[in-house]
Amino acid sequence: MPFPIDAVRATYPALSDGFAYLDGAAGTQTPQSVIDAIAGAYRAGIGNVGGAFPASHRSGAIVAGCRAAVADLVGGRPEGVVLGPNMTTLTYRLARAIAGPGDEVVLSRLDHDANVRPWTQTGATVRWAEVDPVTGELPVGQYAELIGERTRLVAVTAASNILGTRPDVPAIADLAHRAGALVYVDGVHATPHGPVDMRALGGDFYATSAYKWSGPHIGAVVADPALLETLRPDKLASSPDTVPERFETGTAALADLAGVTAAVEHLAAMVPGTGSRRERLLASMAAAERHELELFGVLIEGLERLPHVTVYGKPARRTATAYFNVAGHTPRQVAEHLAGRGVNVWNGHNYAWELTGALGIRDTGGAVRAGLVHYNDRSDVDRLLEGVARLR
């Protein structure tokens, strides 16, 4: 069955402005159902959780519904879903509860800085997994030498946010678990681009951000509740000490949590299907991934044919994400030129601080990033290629 791209696009009001939104790797647009869910929560009346009145009860149901939706999306358990303002904030919070002086952590140059800096700042000793700068691959073999008896945790991305590289996370996790280490998987870039099974990946923790998959700006980290019980984060004396609440500081953005649930429902319904929400998500996201990669084949081949374009990375398995430079133009100039032609792309290091350093382009402006998500179509790709071709 072909992916119903026209029907999917029709659910996104922002796409009516005529721009080609190829900036999804930095944040997607939201469908009308998500907008309605957030507005509906405010319209119905909400209060903080734990109260004796109906508005508080509605908020409690929103929180529980959000945990269940995120768990369905990534293959976790609702009781292990920690919610917060964003992945970076949650990772800092968990890092301080997991690692410290005397521990070792293994980090990768492939990762977004949000899965690097929080761990380097715990005081633990850092060991680095290096990236092949030509292919953009993260070789698994090096982890056998990096992981040892003092390794407390291995942090690794499920997909590079600039090159799209999907490293062999299960193999890395297996090496970590044999040494008794934990595995923290950054799934922020991976989650929008295909089915997710955090258990199959081997992640003890799986981090994701709803605004990368058509939701509002909410982050989540999913783990086994029994594992969370062993961790003691800093918290207010008066706040709950239960799991997962002990990791959640302050009052939640309750209406946005209703939007997260609506975003998961939207993803599950992109293609017709039956079964549980989890089953429909797996089928729908697999169809979306096929759609994205088919379009990406056109995009990446078109860029590589242009003699004035340098494309970074040639990973064997990747998301539909391209990172490139154009001779004679800075990345910012390319982005401005494309914006003038109705194409949204990002430029710079995109927080891939270590990776752009390894590629030798961090200090010269990084590169241009164009990424496809499920609502992009062939016209978006064609407009990008035409715009870049004109910079010859």
Residue 1: pLDDT above 80?
Answer: no
Average pLDDT estimate for 115-124: 98
Average pLDDT estimate for 95-124: 98
Q: What is the pTM of this model?
A: 0.98
Tokens of 123: 């005081």
Confidence grade of residue 267 (pLDDT, cut at 50, 70, 90) = very high
CATH top-level class for 5-30+283-389?
Answer: alpha beta
5-30+283-389 and 34-268 in the same fold:
no
Q: Which fold has domain 34-268?
A: Aspartate Aminotransferase; domain 2 (3.40.640)
HEC string of 220-235? EEEECHHHHHCCCCCC
Question: pLDDT tens across 165-220, in order?
Answer: 999 999 999 999 999 999 999 999 999 999 999 999 999 999 999 999 999 999 99
Domain boundaries, the chain: 5-30+283-389, 34-268
φ, ψ for residue 371 (rounded to 5)?
Answer: -130, 140
> Residue 215 in contact with residue 30, Cβ under 8 Å?
yes
Beta-carbon count within 10 A of 30 CB? 23
**pLDDT value at position 38?**
98
Torsion 96-100-105-107 (CA) sign: positive
Average pLDDT estimate for 366-392: 98
φ, ψ for residue 266 (rounded to 5)?
Answer: -60, -45
Beta strand segments in the chain, E: 20-21, 81-84, 104-108, 125-129, 151-157, 182-186, 205-209, 219-223, 309-311, 321-326, 343-344, 346-348, 367-371
Question: pLDDT tens across 22-45, in order?
Answer: 999 999 999 999 999 999 999 999
Average pLDDT estimate for 60-84: 98
> Residue 303 in contact with residue 388, Cβ under 8 Å?
yes
Average pLDDT estimate for 260-279: 98
**pLDDT value at position 201?**
98
Question: pLDDT tens across 316-357, in order?
Answer: 999 999 999 999 999 999 999 999 999 999 999 999 999 999
